[in-house]
Amino acid sequence: MSKPYDPQDKYFKRAKEQGYRARSVFKLEEIQQKFKILKPGRDILDLGAAPGSWLQYANRIVGPKATLVGLDLTPIKKIKPNVILGQLDIFSPEAIVFIERKHPKKFPIILSDLAPKTSGIKEADHYRSIELSEQVVALAKKFLTPHGTIVIKVFQGADFGLFIIKLKKIFKQVNVFKPKASRDRSFEVYVIIKN
């Protein structure tokens, strides 16, 4: 979920010019340029998808034959016919049922730009971010294909190192990346995981 727009932000201006819903699209663009995770025809599960800019960008690469499923607590405006949207909590049993009904197969790509509602208390926000990230991993164990890729936004803090160690025990390749499009003051990073 993205922060409100700042009209002075160069990424905000670029997003508006290019028809994207949020500046966060350029974080995914940088991840794509470096790691080449999105490929034509690959289905995608996007967790924390509102307002939909990651789905917009990903859909332009994977194309109309791919199915994209996006979930968020906040409603997302319709994007394209092959993009299925649900207003659901990723911790709820309803979210699992929704994903299974809308896409019975597993996904080769799971994206998560999830962030907690920030309190301004760095450690509290970090712990909540880790909790969200662990739920993404739990869902990936159920819905990711054997050679799939996961992208997870995580707030750095005391438990970040431990979270990365846990990931390395489960997955083959784990990379930490901070896009230039992330705000300077932000302590978010993206973890790119290859199964």
Residue 88's CATH number: 3.40.50.150
Q: Is 136 domain-assigned?
A: yes
φ, ψ dihedrals at 54, nearest 5°: -65, -40
User: For residue 48, which amino acid is it?
Assistant: G
d(CA 45, CA 10): 28
Q: Is 180 domain-assigned?
A: yes
Q: Residue-wise pLDDT tens for the chain (195 aa)?
A: 444 445 557 867 877 778 787 889 999 999 999 999 999 999 999 999 999 999 999 999 999 999 999 999 999 999 999 999 999 999 999 999 999 999 999 999 999 999 998 888 999 999 999 999 999 999 999 999 999 999 999 999 999 999 999 999 999 999 999 999 887 777 999 999 998
pLDDT value of position 85: 98
Q: Does the annotation mark 153 as catalytic?
A: yes
- Please name the helix (run of DSSP H) or strand (run of DSSP E) that holds residue 12, with its range, or none: helix 10-18
Answering whether pTM is above 0.75, one says yes
Number of domains in the chain: 1
Q: Is 112 domain-assigned?
A: yes
pLDDT value of position 195: 84
Place of tokens 């979210």: 95
Place of tokens 């991993």: 137
d(CA 191, CA 56): 21
From 34, 39, 105, 153, active-site residue: 153
Asked if 21 and 1 count as a contact pair (C-beta separation under 8 A), the reply is no
Q: Is 16 domain-assigned?
A: no
- CA-nearest of 33, 11, 10 to 22 is 11
Domain range enclosing 141: 28-194
Q: Is 156 domain-assigned?
A: yes
Q: Is 162 domain-assigned?
A: yes
